[in-house]
Amino acid sequence: MDRPAWAPQGIDISVPSVSRMYDYYLGGSHNFEADREAARRAMGYLPGLPKIMQANRAFMRRAVRFAVEEGVGQFLDIGSGIPTFGNVHEVAREADPGARVVYVDHDPVAVAHSREILDGDARTAVLAGDLRTPRHILDSPEVTGLLDLDRPVALLLVAVLHFVEDADDPCAAVAELCEALAPGSLLVATHASYEGVPVPAEQAGGVVDVYRDIRNPLVMRSREEFAAFFTGCEPVDPGLVPMPHWRPDGPPEQEDPYAFSGFAGVGRRR
């Protein structure tokens, strides 16, 4: 198996990665054949997976613009993935040239590629970290050196919560992160769900099986279960809704049916 020059040493390119599969769905080039094969298997059950990922990215960009409009110029993006056009710092700086962003991911390809792209950018930092260990993230030199946690921060958890199993208590991890942020901070999140998927749940369950097979369990949660992550936050209008319905730029009815799979929302820390 050929190893691309950009692939960090020490990683097994025969093992699929969630972030590299996400990159493949979005049309990126930083993925391996193992990632592509697993992604194609998942798309056999849900052909609209790329549309779902595009809806995630579109929501993220709208939420970042909203944060800047609300005077929030600091961003902590956990599960940030492999950088693509229109990443958080690019969107934020269109309105606030001084915006600061810390990107966090546990995939070594995502971390290495992010560092390469952002090298020399003093207002961004990249951290190898995991949502399940919030204290490691909060105490890191990347976060403490770049973000002022005494001022509002936008915490982005886009397309990552559904990869944390209940046994790892993701609600507690999110609560710990939010409690470390100043009042007025924003929690920006999306979550996969059987609700809204335009195929029977039994068929959509095939995707869950694919991710379980690659040892990255995908946990589908209901709207009510998703809402639990926003405990301690005031919901920002229109609340927890399908991604195209959160402050759309155009008529959401024109979106692909797959884009309405799952939920998105923004909450403001009290």
Q: Exposed, middle or buried by CB within 10 Å (0-12, 13-18, 19+), for 38? A: buried
**SS3 state of residue 144:** helix
Of the given ranges (48-57, 103-112, 141-150), which has the lowest mean pLDDT?
Answer: 103-112
Alpha-carbon gap, residue 259 to 46, rounded angstroms: 12
pTM: 0.96
Q: What is the spatial order of strands in the sheet that 100-105 belongs to?
A: 124-128, 100-105, 74-78, 154-157, 186-191, 263-269, 233-235
**Per-residue confidence (pLDDT) for residue 12, from 0 to 100:** 84
Q: Within 13 Å and on the Cβ side, how many CA atoms surround 107?
A: 26
**Which has the closest alpha carbon to 167: 137, 117, 202, 132?**
132
**Cβ–Cβ under 8 Å, residues 183 and 71:** no
Q: What is the DSSP letter of 234?
A: E
Alpha-carbon gap, residue 90 to 95, rounded angstroms: 9
Q: What is the pLDDT of residues 138-168, one digit of tens each?
A: 999 999 999 999 999 999 999 999 999 999 9
**SS3 state of residue 251:** coil
The H-or-E segment that residue 135 falls in is helix 134-138
Q: Which domains does the chain have, with CATH numbers?
A: 18-269 (3.40.50.150)
Alpha-carbon gap, residue 142 to 162, rounded angstroms: 25
Q: What is the mean pLDDT of the chain?
A: 95
**Per-residue confidence (pLDDT) for residue 6, from 0 to 100:** 72
Amino acid at 182: A
**SS3 state of residue 172:** helix
Q: Does 1 have pLDDT greater than 60?
A: no
Q: What is the pLDDT of residues 113-126, one digit of tens each?
A: 899 889 999 999 99
Q: What is the pLDDT of residues 181-213, one digit of tens each?
A: 999 999 999 999 999 999 999 999 999 999 999
> For residue 246, what pLDDT band results from cuts at 50, 70 and 90?
very high
Q: What percent of the chain has pLDDT over 90?
A: 89
The H-or-E segment that residue 82 falls in is none
Query: Phi, psi (5° rounding) for residue 265?
Result: -170, 165
Mean pLDDT of 82-105: 94
